Amino acid sequence: MKKTSTRLADGRELIYYDLRDDRVRDAVDRRPLERTVTTSEVRRDPLLGDSVAVASHRQGRTYHPPADECPLCPSQGDRLSEIPDSSYDVVVFENRFPSLAGDSGRCEVVCFTSDHNASFADLTEEQAGLVLDAWTDRTAELSHLPSVEQVFCFENRGAEIGVTLGHPHGQIYAYPFTTPRTALMLRQLAQHKEATGGENLFDAVLERELAGERVVLASEHWVAFVPYAAHWPYEVHLYPRRRVPDLLALDEDARSEFPRVYLELLKRFDRIFGDQEPPTPYIAAWHQAPFGALEEFDGVVRDDFALHLELFTIRRTSGKLKFLAGSESGMSVFINDVPPERAAQRLREVASQ
């Protein structure tokens, strides 16, 4: 992998990740952009104890542009985009309309390929491996920022999810706090460790799932399963067999095998509802241990956390979406219409289609 860092016309950082070491990235951003002005602010909710990012400047972000005006495609002639060069393998840049900025963290965009009409599932294993390298590198770099406590790499795919740019891409959020979802896991981890005399909860969950009927795909270094209490109609958790706290700690064997396993999972997601349905909308979310202090979680150290990816869709059946209505949105109690065992069976069935 070759990494080249440069600056866009308004001062934002842009980084090329190339498969070839001889690629030269010296294209200049020719757009007449002024410096980006953001109004991001993190506010603490005193009743729930969680945080909300208030970012009014995002109201003006690019919204469903035509394909020939996509800001994530390479620049061509007089059609200038966020990427100054005429081609790229993988590119990462600071979001022009970030939810988090300055002392409130940082937001980045990750473009998986220059092919506007592709999806992550269309990547070759080599290309998917390069994306993994980019995620890992950004996790390392962002962890050194003084305001950053947790790094979150994710992909939103599909208009139903709320994606406003059709180009295959994901995002990275660098939060100035430990997210509520992670804090819940850490509290459960601490309680289980104390109650069992030191057993790791993630290890116990993985062992139970390996012995059950919800495993979707198992390889030498990775295991994918539908969790016992899945929140979403079709939800898969992907774990490395060897527990590590973050992407940085993956060994070479796990890194080498990841592209094949993950691409297979994404292809199965696109087959769930049959060929007559549009591509399956999904969210793919990497859960990594926070880099901040863990004193509030008694007895838990960073290495107790287990890196894993959660992949889920909001489509519950053909032509129907799972909406977060009263119970989910009002009380955070999910109601799942698809039994996890049935979801796992379906994801196994579509392997050979």
Residues designated as active site: 169
119 three-class SS: coil
At which residue do the structure tokens 């460790």 appear? 193
Nearest Cα residue to 132 out of 61, 221, 227, 51? 221
For residue 74, what is the DSSP state?
B
Q: At 305, which helix (H) or strand (E)?
A: none
In the chain, the largest separation of any two C-alpha atoms, in whole Å, equals 65
Round to whole Å and give the CA distance between 120 and 139. 20
Phi, psi for 93 (deg, rounded to 5): -150, 155
121 three-class SS: helix
Cα distances (angstroms) measured from residue 261 to each of 242, 243, 264: 15, 17, 5
Round to whole Å and give the CA distance between 296 and 277. 46
29 three-class SS: coil
Nearest Cα residue to 346 out of 309, 305, 313? 313
Nearest Cα residue to 225 out of 351, 309, 350? 309
At which residue do the structure tokens 């007089």 appear? 78
Q: Residue 83 in contact with residue 70, Cβ under 8 Å?
A: no
